[in-house]
Chains A and B, each alone.
Chain A
Amino acid sequence: MSSLFRQIAAVVTMTIGGLPSRFWGSVTTVFSIALVVATLLAFLAMSNGFAKTVAGTGSDDIAMILGTGSEAELNSTMSSEAVRLLEESPGLARDATGRPIASPELYVVVGANRRAGGGEANVSLRGVTARAPELRPGFRLSSGRMFEPGTNEMIVGVGVVRQFNGFDLNTELQLGGSAWKVVGVFEVPGTVFDSELWADLPVVQSLFNRGPSVQALRARLESPASLAKVKAFVESEPRLQVDVKTEKQHFAGEAQSLQYLVYFGWALSITLGFGALAGALNTMYAAVEARSKELATLRAIGFGGFPAFVGAITESLVLALSGGLVGSAAAYLLFNGLTASTLGGGFTQVVFDFNIGPAQVLAGVQLALLLGLVGGIFPALRAARTPLLKLGAD
């Protein structure tokens, strides 16, 4: 080991060993950096959870067909004739009887009251046929039963039960001027469908005065590559004014809608970061000042300025890393798995879980280390230039 590394090791040992003597200053710095990291992780967890839920919804082998120019189901419209024509398209998977595995669906926005904090929010009521569950991999009824076709029965997603009042099993409720009964609770884990109400398509069409039209057709493809066949069929048929995508492509677009939260989270964290930076600078300047006699003594013995620089930077990074880890742990304990809902692409509430994974923790720790580096660099320069004449001071 070269002399320089031995010097650095000695100074770093001295620096880290001296941390307990500056306990409260160090704790303040760790806490302020932890606060910044926890704030950032809260936003990243929210964005990540929403993105995971939305992205987890899509499938590559399900075609999502909407009226031309419609990005969302809410503003799409499709006639029953168009649905019949589309069901003849090549490339669609079919059952033993030769019928396509397809689900025409109607999407209606209804009001619901939040459990936490009250207030009204929009929830999706989806009119579906008996085929709808086949097009949602992972669908299962967690309690109750499927609605009976032709009745005012509905099944509700677990996310709705969790977040909103009045949707528990066997509850009767009023929607769109009609009475409904909740006969089952379903889940499609990790998807936006958990945030929906499902009822029989013809009943929804009738009670919400939508006539025979629907808004979307979901259809299983023979394979992801079969999408091209469906597209070719649509282009060759002038009576079809529809756009065809895979379900995954459709929901990937919706995931972008929460990106603003990530930007806001970073902006807020950086603003808080300036406060933490001031704290880190203050602590580090105080630490260097407290060690000035020791540093001057080492310089007198013959140590260079660079080991003193490295020692101060190391102390700052150790404090920052501690702050980053404490902040990450706090954010994980407080936010990970927390259920929330926000406005999705269809102007209805999407229920999702905050999700903190390795990527979010890494981002938080990187921000902490950046704060430590910036907060430590100027005090470290001062440490490297400690006047030798501080020796006599006591």
Chain B
Amino acid sequence: MSDSDLIVLRNIAKTYRRGEESISIFSDLNLTIPSGDFVAMMGPSGSGKTTLLNLLGGLDRPTSGTILFDGAPIEKLSESQLSAWRAANIGFIFQFYNLMPTMSAARNVELPLLLTSLSPSERKKRVKTALEVVGLDNRAGHKPKELSGGQQQRVAIARAIVADPKLILADEPTGDLDRTTAAEILEMLQLLNRELGKTIVMVTHDPAAAKYARRELHLDKGTFEERLT
């Protein structure tokens, strides 16, 4: 492992139980993602893309193996330690945006900052900056239902970056958007990666979306095949 590696997966196995049956998703998965990378994770349905994303984000635990994040293993952390770790290191972007419907865009973006010791004025400043980055500072007071799908996803991106996490995990971020809006969102992710140096792992079915990443990883039958974009 080099100093520049943000994530290292070693011999990861993941199985689920369905009644008496044990279903193996991967048995010996290895992967290294350097800091500043932008990876598009592709593969057929059921190949384990989202499972892998959940493992990387500390939302799920491997059955065996080690996940090193910045050189430290995360799979043994307690639930509360994992919560704190996610708050400090991970920004999530979901296919259906997952915004709080009763909160304004600004309040949605502020949510990760509530877990920090920042003062209200500092939080307000950060929220404003994040909304400016995604071009929605003029929509700060709007609730999600008052925004288009693309605008909602941009709010979700602002929420993902506002606490300045090291890793952004995006699960089909353009899956619910039309092609033009999807391109805008992907360009924004590309900008975050290239200009702000954010490490991004994006799960997608769409080969066109994958082209925006620095490299594509095709997951099938528990192994990766890598293609540079």
Q: Which B206-226 residues sit within 8 Å CB-CB of chain A?
A: none
Name which residue of chain A comes closest to B156, CB basis. A297
Contact flags A260-299 to B (C-beta < 8 A → 1, else 0): 0000000000000000000000000000000001100111
A389–B59 Cα distance when bound, in Å, is: 7
Name which residue of chain A comes closest to B86, CB basis. A302
Cross-chain contact of A10 among B60, B84, B87, B114 (Cβ < 8 A): B114
A392–B83 Cα distance when bound, in Å, is: 18
Shortest C-beta distance, A393 to chain B (Å), equals 8
* Tally of contact residues, A, Cβ under 8 A: 25
Contact A298 B111 (CB under 8 A): yes
Shortest C-beta distance, B16 to chain A (Å), equals 10
Contact B114 A391 (CB under 8 A): no
Cross-chain contact of B112 among A14, A17, A294, A302 (Cβ < 8 A): A302
Q: Which A295-310 residues sit within 8 Å CB-CB of chain B?
A: 297-305
Contact A388 B84 (CB under 8 A): no
Name which residue of chain A comes closest to B51, CB basis. A389
What interface size band does chain B fall in?
Answer: 20 to 34
Q: Does A394 contact B (CB under 8 A)?
A: yes
Q: Does A137 contact B (CB under 8 A)?
A: no
**What residues on B are CB-neighbors of A293 within 8 Å?**
98
Shortest C-beta distance, B159 to chain A (Å), equals 8
- Decide yes or no: A302 and B94 within 8 Å by CB, A17-B103, A18-B101 being known contacts: no
Name which residue of chain A comes closest to B95, CB basis. A392
Q: Does B24 contact A (CB under 8 A)?
A: no
Shortest C-beta distance, A89 to chain B (Å), equals 77
A388–B111 Cα distance when bound, in Å, is: 17
Q: Does B62 contact A (CB under 8 A)?
A: no
**What residues on B are CB-neighbors of A7 within 8 Å?**
114-115
Contact flags A66-94 to B (C-beta < 8 A → 1, else 0): 00000000000000000000000000000
A300–B171 Cα distance when bound, in Å, is: 13
Contact B115 A301 (CB under 8 A): yes
**What residues on B are CB-neighbors of A388 within 8 Å?**
54, 59-60
Q: Does B117 contact A (CB under 8 A)?
A: yes
Contact flags B37-57 to A (C-beta < 8 A → 1, else 0): 000000000000010001001
Contact A301 B87 (CB under 8 A): yes
**What residues on A are CB-neighbors of B117 within 8 Å?**
3
Contact B83 A391 (CB under 8 A): no
Contact A304 B83 (CB under 8 A): yes
Contact B103 A301 (CB under 8 A): no
> Could you jot down 27 A-B contacts, CB within 8 Å?
A3-B116, A6-B115, A10-B107, A13-B103, A14-B100, A18-B102, A21-B101, A293-B98, A297-B92, A297-B94, A297-B98, A297-B100, A298-B100, A298-B111, A299-B83, A300-B92, A301-B86, A301-B112, A301-B115, A302-B87, A303-B83, A303-B111, A388-B60, A389-B54, A389-B60, A391-B94, A391-B171
Interface residues of B (CB under 8 A from A): 50, 54, 57, 59-60, 79-80, 83-84, 86-88, 92, 94-96, 98, 100-103, 107, 111-112, 114-117, 159, 171
